Amino acid sequence: MTSAMLSTSLRLCKHISPSRHLHKSVAMASKVLTMETLNPHVKTMEYAVRGPIVARAGAIEKELKEGAKKPFDKVIRANIGDCHACGQPPITFLRQVVALCTYPPLLESSDFPADAKDRAERILAGCKGRSIGSYSDSAGVEVIRRDIASYIEKRDGGVKCDFNNVFMSTGASDGIKAILNLMISHSPATPTGVMIPIPQYPLYTATASEYGLHPVPYYLNESNKWGLDISELQRAIDAQRAHCTPRALVVINPGNPTGQVLSRENIEGVIKFAKKEKLFILADEVYQHNVYASGSSFFSFKKVLSELGPDYADLELASFMSTSKGYMGECGYRGGYCEVINMDPEVRGQMLKSLSAKLCPSVSGQAAMEVVVNPPRPDEPSYESFVKERDQVLGDLKLKGRLTTETLNSMEGMSCNEVMGAMYAFPQIHMPQKAIDEAKAKGTKPDTMYCFQLLEETGICVVSGSGFGQREGTYHFRMTILPTVDDLKSLLAKLKAFHVGFMARYK
C-alpha cells in the first residue's frame, strides 16, 4: 500500500460516525462466529502467494478496467505457478482424454485419435456407472492408482510400487495436508515439530499454523546454490527440541521458491539424518519433470531410500505429485497423488478412514493424472505430437530459466542463483540502508515495500521473500518464469528499469 493510499484510508476512518460504530457493535453481538470466537489457528495462518500484494494487483486490474490511468496497461502476474494463466497451451492429448471422459458420446467421433479413446475407455471402465460424475473410492479410481504405481516403478528403475500405497488427492496440497493431519498432537506441552525448509512454499507454515503444529525451520544455503546442509538440519532440530517433539521433515525437490535440484548424495544424507532422528519424510516432488541445469537430474527419495539397503527399509516416507506443474500445468483440475511407504498398517487404515470423510478427490482431476502417468507410447498415433508439445514446454522453460538468471544477475544490487529446476527465481535484493530505514518507518518490510512499489510503477506482481522465509538481514522476492518468452523479456526489461530507479532513489 502506498503512503497516499494509507493516508486516504486514515482520513476515511476519521469520518465514520459514532452511530455507524454502534450499528456494527450490535450486528457483531448477534454473530456466533466473531474474531474472538474464531479458531485462533486460522487467524495466525498466512499464505503469501495470495496475500496483500496479490490483493492489490487484483484491485489495480479493476481500476484499469474502469479507466484509471496507470504507467502500464495491464498487470503482469508473476506471483504464482499458474502455467495456463501465463499463456502456456494445454497438452492436446490430455485435454482430449478428459473431454472424452466428460462427454462419452464423443467416443463415436472421428475427430479423436484411437489412443485417446483407449485411455478414456480405461478410465470410464473404472468409474461407477461409466461416469466421472460418480464418486470414486476415497483413495481414487483403482485403475488410475494401478497406472500410477506402474509409472513410479518405471521412473525409479524397477523399484516396486504397490498401488495400495497410493492415494489420490485434490492437488498435491491436499495430500500433504492429509499426512500432516495424522501428526497433530493435541497436547500443548508437546506439539508435533515439522522441519520446514527456509525459504519454503507457504503451504507448509500455513498448514502448521492451521493444525497447531510447531514449525522447525532449517535454512537452505544460498551461497551454495540453495543446497541442503545436513549440519543445518542438526542445528535446527537441536534448537527446537525443547519446544516440540520433532516427527516430520519436509523436503521440496526441485525447490520452490528457490529452483534448486538436490544431488543424489544430498538426498542420501537427508535420509540418513531422518533415520538417525526418527523422522517421517515428506518429499514434495511435484516438479520432478522440471529439471533444466546441465549436470542435474531428478532422483526420487524413494529410489535413493531403496538403494541404501536393509538398515533403511523401515523409514517412513510420503512423496507427492501433481498435474499442476511439470509440462502439464493443469492447475485447475486439481489432480494429485501421494505414495506412502512403510506406514504402520493400522495407521494407514486410520488415514483411509480420514480420507473417506472427504468422499473422494475430483474425478476429472484423477483422469488428468491418468494421462500424466500413462502418456502416449511410441507405437500410438498421438505419440509424435505429444512429445513435440511436451518438449516445447520444457525447452521454453529451460530457456526462460537461463534468461531470467542472466538478466537478474546483470542488475547492480541484485544476485540470483541459477534456476536449476521448478518454475521460479528467488533473487536477493541487496537493499540500500536508506530503503531499509524508510520501510521501518512505514512499519513494513523492505522487500515488501520493494514489491509494492514494483507493482504500482510497472504492473508486475511478484511476492516478497518475507512471505517464504529468509535469513535475517536478507531480502528477496519470488517470480515465476512462466510467461511466454516474449512476455518474459518484456517483464525483465521493465523490472530492470524499475530496479535501476529504485537503487538510485535510495542510494
Residue 347 sits in a domain of what CATH number?
3.40.640.10
User: pLDDT tens digits for 160-213?
Assistant: 999 999 999 988 989 999 999 888 887 777 899 999 999 988 889 888 888 889
| 232 plus 146 within the same structural domain | yes
How many structural domains is the chain composed of? 2
Taking residue 31's Cβ as centre, other Cβ atoms within 10 Å add up to 10
Report if residue 455 sits inside a domain. Answer: yes
Position of cell 476415497? 138
- Report the distance separating Cα 298 and Cα 494, nearest Å: 33
pLDDT given for residue 325 in this prediction: 93
Q: Is the dihedral of CA 322, 227, 298, 214 positive or negative?
A: negative
By CB atoms closer than 10 A (0-12, 13-18, 19+), residue 433 is exposed
Report if residue 175 sits inside a domain. Answer: yes
| 217 plus 352 within the same structural domain | yes
CATH code for position 70: 3.90.1150.10
* pTM of the predicted protein model: 0.86
Report if residue 17 sits inside a domain. Answer: no
The residue from 373, 400, 415 where one domain ends is: 373
Report if residue 379 sits inside a domain. Answer: no
| 366 plus 398 within the same structural domain | no
| 416 plus 279 within the same structural domain | no
- Per residue of the chain (507 residues), what is the pLDDT tens digit? 444 443 444 343 444 455 555 555 555 567 877 767 666 666 565 555 557 888 888 898 899 998 889 888 888 888 888 888 888 999 999 999 999 999 999 999 999 999 999 999 999 999 999 999 998 888 899 999 999 999 999 999 999 999 999 999 988 989 999 999 888 887 777 899 999 999 988 889 888 888 889 999 999 999 999 999 999 999 999 999 999 999 999 999 999 999 999 999 999 999 999 999 999 999 999 999 999 998 899 999 999 999 998 999 899 999 999 999 999 999 888 999 999 999 888 888 888 888 888 788 899 999 999 999 999 999 999 999 999 999 999 999 999 999 999 999 999 999 999 999 999 999 999 999 999 999 999 999 999 999 999 999 999 999 999 888 888 899 999 999 999 898 899 999 999 999 999 999 998
Report if residue 326 sits inside a domain. Answer: yes
User: pLDDT tens digits for 394-429?
Assistant: 999 999 999 999 999 999 999 999 999 999 999 999
User: pLDDT tens digits for 341-372?
Assistant: 998 888 888 888 888 887 888 999 999 999 99
Report if residue 130 sits inside a domain. Answer: no
- Report the distance separating Cα 262 and Cα 303, nearest Å: 14
**Domain span including residue 251:** 135-373
Per DSSP, what are the bridge partners of residue 464?
477
Report if residue 299 sits inside a domain. Answer: yes
- Report the distance separating Cα 210 and Cα 45, nearest Å: 6
Report if residue 145 sits inside a domain. Answer: yes
pLDDT given for residue 230 in this prediction: 95
| 57 plus 204 within the same structural domain | no
